[in-house]
Amino acid sequence: MRLDRITIVEYDARWPGLFEEQRDRVEPVLREWLVRPIEHTGSTAVPGLPAKAIIDMAGVVADYDKVPAAFDELAALGWITAPEPGDAEARKWSLCFPSIERRSHHLHIVEESSRGWPTWLAFRDHLRTTPADRDEYARIKRSLASADDEDRPAYRAGKAPFITRVLQQLEDR
């Protein structure tokens, strides 16, 4: 059970370094399966964007079914499996550090053939280069968090129309 509330804080210039620190710990464990370097994703990867202070990371692997071989070694580093609804269907593993209840980092390991991960990078990159959309996304996130800082499904659902609109615009280009 998660104990952290949905709290949106101002962008912290330390977030990229916190990502790099954990990437440098987990990437060697996963290197055998990775098809590309682990990426910093989510709002903490967008300079100037207020966010929940949880560093999202994405590792793309060739074969989802092979990854559990790394779980013991990842656990020795403090990374805990934290399955989310829909993970298996998305061919994705979710892990967190240092605990499920109070995570500072969230690692999504997804199979290369999964359709979702390229959109994570496209959305991140769009917000990095489009201040008006970055600011609108910040407004939406703050509004949703202030409405109910414990309802994660409502928070995710409330952000979805904006994310879908941006991704559709990117696809239409």
pLDDT of residue 115: 85
Beta bridge partners, 9, equal 51
Bridge-based pairing state of the strands 105-111 and 92-97: antiparallel
Q: Which two tokens stand for residue 91?
A: 């061919």
Question: Do residues 26 and 71 lie in contact, with contact meaning Cβ atoms separated by under 8 Å?
Answer: no
Q: Please state the three-class secondary structure of 59-99 as a single string.
A: EEECCHHHHHHHHHHHHHCCCEECCCCCCCCCCEEEEEECC
Report all structural domains of the chain as residue ranges with CATH numbers, in order of start: 15-172 (3.30.460.10)
C-alpha–C-alpha distance, residues 68 and 83, integer Å: 13
b/e code 46-82 from CB counts within 10 Å (16+ = b): beebbbbbbbbbbbbbeebeebeebeeebeeeebbbb
pLDDT of residue 3: 59
Average pLDDT, consecutive stretches of 10 residues, N- to C-terminus, the chain (173 residues): 81 98 98 97 98 97 96 98 91 94 94 93 98 98 95 94 97 91
Which among 18, 173, 46, 23 is positioned nearest to 109, based on CA atoms? 23
The tens digit of pLDDT for each residue in 51-101 reads 999 999 999 999 999 999 999 999 999 999 999 888 999 999 999 999 988
Q: Which two tokens stand for residue 116?
A: 């979702």
How is the chain split among helix, strand and coil, in percent rounded to 5?
50, 15, 35
